[in-house]
Chains A and B, each alone.
Chain A
Amino acid sequence: MTPGRLGLHEVALVGVQLKGATELGSFDAKGRYASTPAGAAELDLEEDALVALRMFERAQLALLLPMLETRRASHGLSELGGGVGDLNLSLRYDFTLAGASRVMPGVALLAGITFPTGTPSDAGNLRPLATDATGIGAWQASVGLALEQAIGPWLLNATGIVAARTARTVTASETSVHERLARQWTALASVAYVFPSECALAASAAYAVEGNATIDQEEAAGSNHRLTTLTVSGSLPLSDAWRLQSALFATPPLSRLAVNQTALAGVLVTLVHAWL
């Protein structure tokens, strides 16, 4: 999924996305939620550069280059770090378009590859609170299917994506560990209302599930992840070429909505210039 999706008739776009999120708490391996303890805090900032290009009528290619900064405080330490994140290249092919048929929804194939251009959290030269970790350290390939339908001013979307990561060997203190992350499955559903001015409001829910990692050929029990994210977003066309998008997102701080994850709440602002 990319915020740099080309709209109907658009042939190219460039954009910037700013993201800020704060940690509310975390979920343990049993999905129990605990608020961030006093004295601990995390603020995540991200600036993404977006480019998308229509290759032919039904296919579009998008590139996202993130810059990440983290401010983290824990046990009396406070630290700010960051750097280039993992570069993502994604392809979308629309077999059919939403709104073009009363019966057949828009059906699109999504595919993506994420390059390990960031610094993984197990890199050897990180700062004490690892605020300069900006990537997962592995190549990631994803494939998905998106269904969309327009019913009058309403737009419904259901998307499923599966992502696989390459295995990697991490060496620290002369000890090597071979790690393979499990496949990550993500389901997303959203509903949007488009006003005659082309302003739009949307609400969406995403649920991601990842199984246990494999460490040195053995499954590491309790290393699985789950994450629920709720988002409300809006799009404001400033002209036929410029549009502003914004979103508020959060993982609700309720037990069982996530496993082995931090609960974040944040805001996204995206400015896009598109060419028709």
Chain B
Amino acid sequence: MALKWRRGALILAVAACSAAHHPTVVDIRFPSTEGGARSLIDPAARLTVVEFFSAHCPCQAKHDERLRGLAARYRAQGVAFVAVDSEADATLARDRREAVRRHYPYGILVDPTGKAAAALRANYATYCVLIDSSGAILYQGGIDSDRNRLHADATPYLADAIADAVFGRPIRVPVAKSLGCSLMRE
């Protein structure tokens, strides 16, 4: 029920934006470590994974490799990834360093006022939202069932949701728990 409400709300927000030009989170442009500014959804992508990033969180660091792997595996299917640093101490300079150090193949959007986190109800690092090109939320939750120690038999919630969306299947688990650190807001 919560997912349907959120999905509806986001679609409505996009529709309202089109009609009345009220800015919503999908319209807001955030400074990107790749240069310039961009919005959460990649307009050229079929699906966008928005991942809430923390520079301090050990759980985040443990999942970097899995995120890079997912981004590489689904790039050809039109799935774009973007990280968002919604922590109060986020800066473009720090996130540029982190993106390079972690070999991210996608940018980190810098959101120190937490607008994106508030709109997408992100409270923890590694919380991901899978959004289709219409702005509908298909999945929200953790990357998988692991926290700080990775297990080969972890449940890959995000990977499953991407695969389901890519192949047009119903999302088997549309909402899952995110096990990262608390995102520090103002």
How near does chain A come to B148, taking the closest CB pair, in angstroms? 6
Contact of A102 among B58, B148, B185 (CB under 8 A): B185
Q: Is B177 an interface residue (CB 8 A)?
A: yes
How near does chain A come to B27, taking the closest CB pair, in angstroms? 26
Contact indicator per residue, chain B 106-146, by CB within 8 Å of chain A (1) or not (0): 00000000000000000100000000000000000000011
Within 8 A of B (CB), among A197-241: 197-198, 237, 239-240
**A-B residue pairs in contact (CB < 8 Å), sample of 13:** A9-B177, A97-B182, A98-B182, A99-B184, A100-B123, A101-B88, A101-B184, A102-B89, A196-B61, A198-B58, A240-B146, A276-B147, A276-B177
**CA distance in complex: A197, B62 (Å):** 10
Q: Is the CB of B58 within 8 A of A101?
A: no
Q: Is B161 an interface residue (CB 8 A)?
A: no
Number of interface residues of B (CB under 8 A): 19
Q: Is A152 an interface residue (CB 8 A)?
A: yes
Contact indicator per residue, chain B 151-186, by CB within 8 Å of chain A (1) or not (0): 000000000000000000000000001010111111
Q: Is the CB of B147 within 8 A of A240?
A: yes
Q: Is the CB of A152 within 8 A of B56?
A: yes
Q: Is A38 an interface residue (CB 8 A)?
A: no
Q: A99-B184, A102-B89, A150-B182 are in contact. List 17 more A-B contacts (CB 8 A).
A: A8-B181, A8-B182, A9-B179, A99-B181, A100-B123, A100-B182, A100-B183, A102-B186, A196-B58, A197-B58, A198-B148, A239-B149, A240-B146, A240-B149, A276-B147, A276-B177, A276-B179
Q: Is the CB of B88 within 8 A of A102?
A: yes
Q: Is the CB of B186 within 8 A of A101?
A: yes
Q: Is the CB of A100 within 8 A of B147?
A: no
**CA distance in complex: A9, B59 (Å):** 12
How near does chain B come to A211, taking the closest CB pair, in angstroms? 39
Please indicate the chain A residues that have their CB under 8 angstroms from the CB of B184 in the complex: 99-102, 150
**CA distance in complex: A207, B183 (Å):** 33
**CA distance in complex: A8, B125 (Å):** 12
Please indicate the chain B residues that have their CB under 8 angstroms from the CB of A152 in the complex: 56
The binding surface of chain A is classed by DSSP as loop
Supposing A9-B179, A196-B58, A197-B58 touch, asked if A101 and B147 sit within 8 A by C-beta, the answer is no
Supposing A198-B58, A239-B149, A240-B146 touch, asked if A103 and B182 sit within 8 A by C-beta, the answer is no
Q: Which of A97, A98, A153, A198 has the most CB of B within 10 A?
A: A198
**CA distance in complex: A8, B183 (Å):** 12
Please indicate the chain A residues that have their CB under 8 angstroms from the CB of B89 in the complex: 102
**CA distance in complex: A102, B186 (Å):** 5
**CA distance in complex: A61, B121 (Å):** 26
Please indicate the chain A residues that have their CB under 8 angstroms from the CB of B145 in the complex: 276
**CA distance in complex: A103, B179 (Å):** 23
**CA distance in complex: A101, B177 (Å):** 21
Within 8 A of B (CB), among A237-268: 237, 239-240
Contact of A100 among B148, B177, B179, B185 (CB under 8 A): B185
How near does chain B come to A108, taking the closest CB pair, in angstroms? 14
Q: Is the CB of A101 within 8 A of B185?
A: yes
Complex: chain A residue closest to B147, CB-CB: A240
Q: Is the CB of B186 within 8 A of A9?
A: no
Within 8 A of A (CB), among B52-85: 56, 58, 61
**CA distance in complex: A120, B148 (Å):** 45
Complex: chain B residue closest to A239, CB-CB: B149
Within 8 A of A (CB), among B78-103: 88-89
**CA distance in complex: A196, B60 (Å):** 11
Complex: chain B residue closest to A103, CB-CB: B186
Please indicate the chain A residues that have their CB under 8 angstroms from the CB of B182 in the complex: 8, 97-100, 150
Top 10 nearest A-B pairs (CB, nearest first) are: A100-B182, A102-B88, A99-B182, A240-B147, A9-B179, A196-B58, A240-B149, A101-B185, A97-B182, A99-B184
Please indicate the chain B residues that have their CB under 8 angstroms from the CB of A276 in the complex: 145, 147, 177, 179
